Structure 1
């Protein structure tokens, strides 16, 4: 076993997409470990606290009229003309990688163990050592067209500080209503419609003493994590799918294990969208978007060895913790294959929790029948009385429902 380190820089991240065309930034063997740094794409909501003085973050977010460190930001084209910027409109998350796994082939399963997660401290002289994140009540949030106070609609950015001196928690520092921002290329952003735009704090009004004395328990996790899909060269980071991606489940943190079906040679694992805390549904549009570093272990399971194991017949992401297994249902299990050439744009027009619940039910039924040897009637009975289904997210175009079953249910069970 070897241990590698993959720091963030403009040459180790790709912004807003998964891709089978991006050259690996690291190549590992099964059983190897890696420390991987990740950045939040919302760091420029407060440049002073989350970027200033940090060489890695500065190298990624550098954007002047003369130079843009990471030009492609999304799964769109790189050649203009553009209204917002290269890759505009389809994909937003900063992802570190890809990491290739030697010998990985379509049909295999990649196991990713999250051994540890820790926040990235501010390097700013005024805030050195402290950790910060941004939450956005955004135009893509569930609430946006259902507001009761003026002005409406509106997008609101709330900056949180993460206290890690004991049991970690977050507290709100201030918020502001998004006002039009002009990027270095002269494009005006009336809404939060392109990732990495630096907010000019001279143009916003900070409101302090918000959420006074409220402590939000920290649940450090990675909102977007997975392997490269096979269906397209560049795939938006926003809708989750059969290879993982933007699942946005706060349970995908320290101690969790994720399993992903391999779709392309090398698997090409990427991770990002780091979160300090998030509730089920991610209702307003984001979690507390922060920057994190994770320690990961990668184990490759070959297709020929899957029969009779937990991974037999696995065609979707699967979470395992010490306490439970969880499957993820989506409006479309594989929207890229189901919706055709315009899938990445059209998927948001069809978002449905009904379909996501149906998909989660089918996936958990398969797990209980295949892995645990239950009949269909036994599986359905058990799901109704012992499984927990919840809304994972309603903001990622391909809406999600997670279905979980606790391991203690099978403590005395022997597969027939």
Structure 2
């Protein structure tokens, strides 16, 4: 039955209004702001110097239906897939190019504090349900689902992010480019009345963090810090609530987790020692964004969400937030876009292993650019995820540009032992050289000179298996060109 999420339903408008009426006041306020944003699409997402030329935009518009539809995709146990991308997934919504989609996303770290991030929220409760008899979402990762083989749980945690979707874009085929405009991005309000008006997120300094083998004194420890965010948007910062050292946790199936080794293990705080004096007086500027956003790869049926790849995924660039536009090469029919790993804030490198992992809701516009229309444009040879803001273009380099292809049949295991910043820097250099030569028609010598004096390279992340370096060039550098 349509719950306000099936645009083909004859009573879609009635069901959609009922859905909005059932949301709390803060969520309704968000939807209103999202529709207002949608009315100004011409001024959002891309600036005057866009990768999408007027001719390419006109070609895309000509393929779109006359009326734009706004879809709503909630996050619950029926609409999420946990820890993997897959070309085999059934779409949760089908849209036309140019349509808008409001998508709820949940952080996989919500079980670090169930009271603040799950309780009272029906969608989150359905996803994080875990009793001695069942789990709300069983498969968690791209690993085995054979109970005779796994030791920690279905999927073995090889992939950790709660992904909402996928979204099927009608007409999308391999070789096309999907333009994803992020029109809005806001924290999901806490549903527990004890914390009305607030949102919360978790930062885990974990065993996969860059710091872990370099701790002072040599002590091995994992420390989780819970942060508070203002859900109403009146405060532009996050502040720590408390932190705690991870101690072995026993999940409802009786499996002991001495480290943070399986997503969604409910933390029993009767076993932890919480420090409510952590980071007193420190305000962390928030910059909400989606750490994992991308289309389905064609290389395997189930692909771990942790390492990013040519079709996007867990890029973990804090710039992929409101006002940004991402471009992805389509690899499978329908593109199958999924969104997850929401963050309230993150620094370049994501050094300790995570950001402030905080559930968010976003408004997206998806525009399909067909391969036949790309000839002679800046998107013609794009075979990697590209980020555009009002003022900048960014390419994303990885240790392995397409690790699923580069590393062979054992790629999803091998990638975790072979990454380096050097390899990611080399890939970012090559992609920026390609970008400057193809879109700005520079010679190789000109591109190399400009990269040294006018392009900023930064470490995106060193914790996602396939490490990342991004390269940023400001659009104003080319303001003097005809």
Q: Does 1:338 align with 2:392?
A: no
The SS at the match of 2:323 is coil
Q: Could you tell me which residue of structure 2 aligns to residue 108 of structure 1? A: 176
Q: C-alpha separation between the residues in 1 aligned to 2:151 and 2:279? A: 37
Within 5 A, what are the aligned runs for 1:50-89?
50-81=117-148, 82-89=150-157
Q: CA deviation at 1:59?
A: 0.6
Q: CA deviation at 1:127?
A: 1.2
For structure 1, the 5+ residue unaligned runs are: none
Deviation per CA, 1:54-98: give whole Å up to 9, x if none: 000001010111111100000012222221000003100000000
Q: Does 1:328 align with 2:396?
A: yes
Asked if 2 retains the 8 angstrom alpha-carbon contact of 1:308 and 1:371, the reply is no
The SS at the match of 1:145 is helix
Q: CA deviation at 1:168?
A: 1.6
Deviation per CA, 1:259-316: give whole Å up to 9, x if none: 0000000000000000000000000000000000000000000011112222120000
For structure 2, the 5+ residue unaligned runs are: 1-67
Q: Higher strand share goes to which structure?
A: 1
Structure 2 residue corresponding to 1:357, chosen from 425, 428, 451: 425
Q: Could you tell me which residue of structure 2 aligns to residue 227 of structure 1? A: 295
- Over the residues paired in the alignment, what is the CA RMSD in angstroms? 0.9
> 4+ residue runs of structure 1 moved beyond 4 angstroms?
none
Deviation per CA, 1:220-271: give whole Å up to 9, x if none: 0000000000000000000000000000000000000000000000000000
TM-score, normalised with respect to structure 1 = 0.98
Q: Does 1:200 align with 2:283?
A: no
Structure 2 residue corresponding to 1:122, chosen from 185, 190, 200: 190
Q: C-alpha separation between the residues in 1 aligned to 2:128 and 2:235? A: 31
Cα distance 1:144–1:167, how it changes in 2: closer, same or farther (>3 A)?
same
Q: Does 1:385 align with 2:462?
A: no
Q: C-alpha separation between the residues in 2 aligned to 1:266 and 1:219? A: 30
Cα distance 1:139–1:408, how it changes in 2: closer, same or farther (>3 A)?
same
Q: C-alpha separation between the residues in 2 aligned to 1:200 and 1:384? A: 51
Q: Does 1:284 align with 2:352?
A: yes
Asked if 2 retains the 8 angstrom alpha-carbon contact of 1:312 and 1:370, the reply is no
Q: C-alpha separation between the residues in 1 aligned to 2:472 and 2:109? A: 30
Q: Could you tell me which residue of structure 2 aligns to residue 262 of structure 1? A: 330
TM-score, normalised with respect to structure 2 = 0.85
Q: C-alpha separation between the residues in 1 aligned to 2:354 and 2:160? A: 12
Structure 2 residue corresponding to 1:9, chosen from 48, 52, 76: 76
Asked if 2 retains the 8 angstrom alpha-carbon contact of 1:312 and 1:371, the reply is no
Q: Could you tell me which residue of structure 2 aligns to residue 316 of structure 1? A: 384
Q: C-alpha separation between the residues in 2 aligned to 1:375 and 1:259? A: 24
Q: CA deviation at 1:125?
A: 2.6
Q: CA deviation at 1:149?
A: 4.7
Within 5 A, what are the aligned runs for 1:391-406?
391-406=459-474
Q: CA deviation at 1:320?
A: 0.2
Within 5 A, what are the aligned runs for 1:233-252?
233-252=301-320
Asked if 1 retains the 8 angstrom alpha-carbon contact of 2:157 and 2:263, the reply is no
Q: C-alpha separation between the residues in 1 aligned to 2:69 and 2:330? A: 22
Q: Higher helix share goes to which structure?
A: 2
Q: C-alpha separation between the residues in 1 aligned to 2:233 and 2:156? A: 40
Q: C-alpha separation between the residues in 1 aligned to 2:188 and 2:475? A: 33
The SS at the match of 1:208 is coil
